[in-house]
Structures are given as structure tokens and as C-alpha cells.
Amino acid sequence: MLESPVKRTLLKEASVKKTDALGELVRTLARLRAPGGCPWDRAQTHASMKGNLIEETYEVVEAIDSGDDAKLKEELGDLLLQVAFHCQMASEEGRFDLSDVAAGICEKLHRRHPHVFGDATAETPDAVLEQWHRLKRHERGQRKSVVDGVPHSLPALLRAFEVQKRVAKVGFDWEHAADVVKKVHEELGEIDEAAASGDAAALAEEVGDLLFSAVNLARAHGVEPEDALRQTVEKFIRRFQRIEARLAEGGRGPEECTLEELDALWNEVKAEER
């Protein structure tokens, strides 16, 4: 069935509205930052917005884990706002704007995908990644160290993972996962020794070594430690909240229970989830 002229017009208007949504975002931010705009927005700087950017990124990750499309759409919008906000601040100083950022990433995508936009060949995801990293190294020139460029601002667990991946690419890695397990046990023993010595600095160092080894163990088994730990924290919160709910039914709180009682409730909740 042919579409009516009215329907075609409405569809065209909807398409134009969506196409211009980014332009409207830029105009909105420009208004908020202009004289007479929002005092809070006008007071922000790149530095003051760093925390917001990190927070919104993690909220997108949480939305992905939830499987809720509406939540994901909202959180992606919040993250897009952060990108656009930084571009607006830069634009006010004549440095770059959102269009420059979009053009730059489009150019990079074309350059890093010669198997799609050029004559190169890459038939598997692994081949694509190897090509991407090769092109990236060529573009950035020779670095003094393979671990140069790992951002200091990354969460420590994720930064350890990235550093280990970098050195593994040049052959500095464990041959077998079983060897990493031995290293974890070794680090546990060294923690006991440091704790017995009463040396707080040594104990902190050994705990750090254990965590680093645990990241290596996760990587050896193809597990991303940051994501694994985040899911474990969420699982712990969920279970503990169920314990609190059960205690509340009897008019009690966890602070009124013995460790044995809490441990028994924990095991009950854990068994029910399985």
C-alpha cells in the first residue's frame, strides 16, 4: 500500500528532527553557557567536569548490565552530554567543536579499517585487532616503552589489566595459568609474613602484589577483572540487602546479630540463588 502524502510528510519531519538533534544539543549548550545562561554551566571547566565524565561512563556500563534499553538510552544521552559539553567549552575558545571531534573519529575509523575502506584484508576479529594495533603503533611513532600511554586515571584494577596486556604482546607473560595460581599462593604467603612483621608499608605492598597477580590470573583465563569484580560487588550488595530485609521482618538490624547469625543467613540467601 502506498503511503499517503500526510504520512510521508510526517515521516520526513521526524527524520529531519532526529537528524538535527545533535545540532539542537549544541545550540542548547551554547545557550546555557552564554551570558545570561545557567550560572552552574557557565562556571564549569574541563577539570571540574572530569568526575562527571567518569561517573556517567560507569552508569552506561551499569545500564548495559541491566539489559534495560530505556535506561541505556538515557545513560548514553548523559554521556553524550559530557562529550558535547567539553566540545562546547573548547569551541568558546576557538580550539575545536563537536563537528571537529566527529570528523576526527570518522577519519580515524576509515584509516584503521583498510579492510573495509581500502584494499587490505582481515577476515577474522583477531586479524582486525592485530591490524588496528599495528596501524596505531605506526601512527603514534616509536614509543620509549610498551607501557607508555596507559592512562594514569584508569581504575587501578583496569590499569593493571591494560599494562599486563601490553607486556604480554611482547612475550613477557606466564606460559600457563597454573603458574599464575602458584604466584597467587606465593603472594598470600608473603602477606602473612608482612602481617607478622608488623610493617604496614610492607603489608600494603604485598597486598598490591596479590591483587596484581589476581589480575594476571583473571587474564590467563580470559576474564576481564574489572567487570568480574563489579559483578561480584553487585552480587554481594544484593545478597546483603536480602539479609537486611529478612531481619527487618523481625524488627531487627544486622548490627543486632552475631557473626554466626549473619553467616547463617548469608548461606541461606546464597543457597536460594542457586
> pLDDT by residue (tens digit) across 146-197?
898 888 888 899 999 999 999 998 899 999 999 999 999 999 999 999 999 9
Q: pLDDT-based confidence at 108, cuts 50/70/90?
A: very high
Contacts 24+ apart (CB under 8 A), 60-63: 61/230
Q: Is the pLDDT of residue 11 over 60?
A: no
Task: Give every CB contact of residue 152 below 8 A, 6+ residues apart in sequence.
Answer: 159
Query: What's the mean pLDDT when you consider all of the chain?
Result: 92
Nearest CA among 186, 225, 230 for reference residue 66: 230
Q: Alpha-carbon distance 259 to 261, whole Å?
A: 5
Nearest CA among 132, 126, 86, 87 for reference residue 109: 132
3-state secondary structure of 72: helix
CA atoms within 13 A on the CB side of 265: 19
3-state secondary structure of 46: coil
In this structure, what C-alpha cell is assigned to residue 197? 612483621
